[in-house]
Amino acid sequence: MRLPKVYHRFSLLSLYPPSSPLIFYHFPNPVSSTSTSTSTATASFLSVKSTPSSSLPIHKHSRNKFFKPTKTMTSSRFHNLVPISAVVAEDGGGGSNGAVSTTATSSAEDDESAFGDGYRLPPPEIRDIVDAPPLPAISFSPRRDKILFLKRRSLPPLSELARPEEKLAGIRIDGKCNTRSRMSFYTGIGIHQLMHDGTLGPEIEIYGLPDGAKINFVTWSNDGRHLSFSIRVDEEDDSGNKLRVWVADVETGKARPLFHSPDIYLNGVFDNFVWVDNSTLLVCTIPVSRGDLPKKPLVPSSPKIQSNEQKNIIQARTYQDLLKDEHDEDLFEYYATSQLVLASLDGMMKAIGPPAIYTSMEPSPDQKFLLITSIHRPYSFIVPCGRFPKKVDVWTADGKLVRELCDLPLAEDIPITFNSVRKGMRSINWRADKPSMLYWVETQDGGDAKVEVSPRDIIYTQPAELIEGEQPTILHKLDLRYGGISWCDDSLALVYESWYKTRRVRTWVFSPGSEDVSPRILFDRSSEDVYSDPGSPMLRRTPAGTYVIATVKKENDEGKYILLNGSGATPEGNIPFLDLFDINTGSKERIWESNKEKYYETVVALMSDQNDGALDINQLNILTSKESKTENTQYFIQKWPDKKAYQITNFPHPYPQLASLQKEMIRYQRKDGVQLTATLYLPPGYEPSRDGPLPCLVWSYPGEFKSKDAAGQVRGSPNEFAGIGSTSALLWLARRFAILSGPTIPIIGEGDEEANDRYVEQLVASAEAAVEEVIRRGVAHPSKIAVGGHSYGAFMTANLLAHAPHLFCCGVARSGAYNRTLTPFGFQNEDRTLWEATSIYVEMSPFMSANKIKKPILIIHGEEDNNPGTLTMQSDRFFNALKGHGALCRLVILPFESHGYAARESIMHVLWETDRWLQKYCASNTSEVKTDLDSSEDNESKGTTNEESKAVGAAGGGVSELADLEFDRVYPNQRLSHGQRTTKKLELGNRRTYMVAL
């Protein structure tokens, strides 16, 4: 049976994962594009889903492993667990559908067999790295005396992504589980005692779980004696797929269901459960009486009508998965509605409040009150659920309404300008340093960042229980946009504000309990100036389970000290530090710094934080991480005063075959004087003088800046471990490629100029500088340099092939957006509309320059991409535009995949496609840098369409290439004779060739 080119998720055929991705190929000569044939295969419906986390555990290779003082750290929860891109199926990923080929094919195949049916496997040297068993995630107990090892599996099979899902109000829901779809999970939990010498005690395995249990939402009780988590088991009936709440005794490892009744299931669409106290959980459950799933009427009750007769200005970015009709509204309500239930460890349970769409539940630090947020009708067809009407209430801990804080209307009209926000109360939360004190922010500019007003935001505070007539207290007024608060006590709090247009960030210090002490600015700097970053205050965990600024005392010293944890950006790379900072005088003392010679070390968290009051500096314990270019991250406990480090993990190298890879942070200059950096990776054992230049893959992602100085600052460390993800460009080190990773592509708009006003010019200049540098070093062959990127990096790739084909032999573009007229109300960091900056939108769109792309381009996209702006249609239309101009191009659509790719079949096929493309059009490219005028003119006069003869090296040099690409830029608006033009073209070609020779 053949599958159609477009899969409809709820058709009968969509119940089975396809046996191959959709592939379209176009050669430069007239060849019709065809999709490969596909066949269905039976598959079990397994769930590997992922939901947003409110607090993550520490785990290997996480790029977000450094904690910051945010609201999400005010509890010991870490909702989910493993980024789905880091996960792999225990059965090797083939699943039950047998879709993956069992033999690897040569990635440089030139015949049509390379385009056959089925998912393909990359060469073993790549496949073995991706299939390596994942390392566990880790998490420490609230008392810092135990450590969890959360066991993970490998990449999931495609059959798990093929589960039906509902796309509603900007989210995706797995109806059988009644939770977010595509949710990852753990397979087991091990507990170790953390000994005084840093060693770990014997493992206690959580036991009593059902076979095949999939574990999510692991949460410590505040006293660290119990764990709570959800479990689901794949079964034929729907009930087995739904989530149940379990608890486990940490000392014994014995686990059991929280609810005695088998009919109580967790609703995981929004918030799910939270510890109210050490023996009671508040759980969002599926209402027992909710009835059957709403059926879509055969005939709609009315046409679909939207109206703006009030002439409101409503602009929205290109959101996906929005509600479409009344039936979608009913479905959203059906899945998202919860009944709140209080459940104690002794088996008692009590339903509280009415069924509603509860999105968050926050107990007060003293456990007496609950801050409950819910959303309700009217819904919207143009914005996601985060902008639906929102109601915030204060309840007692046993579910009685104390008062309504606010009921905010539908927010369809938030301006697209950066720093614009919702009207009314926002950022409502409990003060971390008080038993039950609320605080929030209210905008004074109507939420519109274009409105000039002072103050712009006001911070208020108020107790949970009001005395009659009591009004909110104003804590602070801000002229920039509010960015958060770090609480300490009545004598100290830090408030953050920022403004995107100017990149200005300010930190205020004030005394919340004293009106006599005026707030003062502690730090005032540019967010782009990483060299001036003083660091962030370290937080300690309180007995109530909240996080406050840690103060430190020194013997015979009356100063008030805090700890500032910084990345330590320098021109030599990041050198993380820990400073003892006197909050009153501004003086600081560096008490810890990373080893900058060989290692990259960071401070992860305070471990001596169980007690109230200031910490004695001589009893300070901190958790640090340590890594090098060739040694993966390990964790240590460092204890003062001797600062001795005790290693607590010993993770094996995840890919020993690349353990001796070469890594160097390089610096070079753009022609306008901007300093640029990149990380150059070379294969193990490579020697330039012996082995000569290599094929090179440049993989990057542009960034916007307001100043040249900031754009030229060095970010990152030369000593960081080379973490290789499942679709990382670094995988091609195993194929003997040089990899230029993350070359800075700064798009700068100084003063009144916007960055994108000169996007193409600056993009090309940055790429030219990077290419010239790797050629100058002798590590990259001029005619064997490929470019690639994901998302905005794919957009970059297409633009470079259009506007700088002299630099690259081919490109790989994944999950990109190529036509900016399809995102008319802003994209990336551009907040002007299409109608305000029409020429910018058109000039930046590689779709509009499809006729200029002559180098081979591989386009890959997930069929179910839900990222704003990067609709799958972007790749479809771009491919058709390229095909319409005879470009050598290939389009691969991955069924069931979203913006990032998750299934083993998909990832392996992406790697096979990419490797084949790089081997054929980069490593095997035989084009030479042309310097002979006559031969270039011969090619031009013959009108050849052979891509191999048209390609020029990274330095350019062919007269026909220069005529098309550089002449008008170098000699704009000049009326020259044919002879003059030819002479100047030749001069340009020779000059560029000379630069290559250097």
Give, in degrees to the nearest 5, the angle at Cα 307 between 303 and 309: 145
**Residue 62, number of CB atoms within 10 A of its CB:** 16
Q: Residues 6 or more apart from 845 whose CB is under 8 A from it?
A: 818, 819, 820, 821
Contact in structure between 372 and 395 (CB atoms under 8 Å): yes
Contact in structure between 153 and 81 (CB atoms under 8 Å): no
Coil, strand, or helix at residue 238?
helix
Residue 625: φ, ψ to 5° = -115, 155
Coil, strand, or helix at residue 327?
helix
Helix/strand/coil percent split, the chain, to 5: 20, 30, 50
Separation between Cα atoms, residue 180 and residue 98, nearest integer Å: 27
Separation between Cα atoms, residue 226 and residue 612, nearest integer Å: 23
Specify the DSSP class assigned to residue 423.
Answer: S
DSSP secondary structure string, 550-585?
A: PEEEETTEEEEEEEEEE----TT----EEEEEETTT
Closest by CA position to 838, among listed 851, 852, 820, 818: 820
Where is 841: in which H helix or E strand?
A: helix 838-844
Name the maximum alpha-carbon separation found in the chain.
94
Give, in degrees to the nearest 5, the angle at Cα 966 between 963 and 967: 55
**Residue 949, number of CB atoms within 10 A of its CB:** 15
DSSP secondary structure string, 854-900?
A: -S-EEEEEETT--STT--HHHHHHHHHHHHHTT--EEEEEETT--SS
Separation between Cα atoms, residue 485 and residue 746, nearest integer Å: 31
Separation between Cα atoms, residue 550 and residue 614, nearest integer Å: 7
Closest by CA position to 151, among listed 200, 117, 188: 188
Burial of 130 (0-12, 13-18, 19+ CB in 10 A): buried
| β-strands 204-205, 520-526 pairing | unpaired
Residue 545 CB-half CA count within 13 A: 23
Q: Is the dihedral of CA 323, 324, 326, 332 positive or negative?
A: negative
Measure Cα distances from 386 to 373, 375, 376 in Å. Answer: 12, 9, 11
Q: So which residues are the catalytic ones?
A: 791, 865, 899
| Amino acid, single-letter form, for residue 590 | R
Contact in structure between 535 and 590 (CB atoms under 8 Å): no
Whats the size of the chain, residue-wise?
998
| Amino acid, single-letter form, for residue 593 | E
Contact in structure between 759 and 840 (CB atoms under 8 Å): yes
Closest by CA position to 460, among listed 443, 442, 478: 442
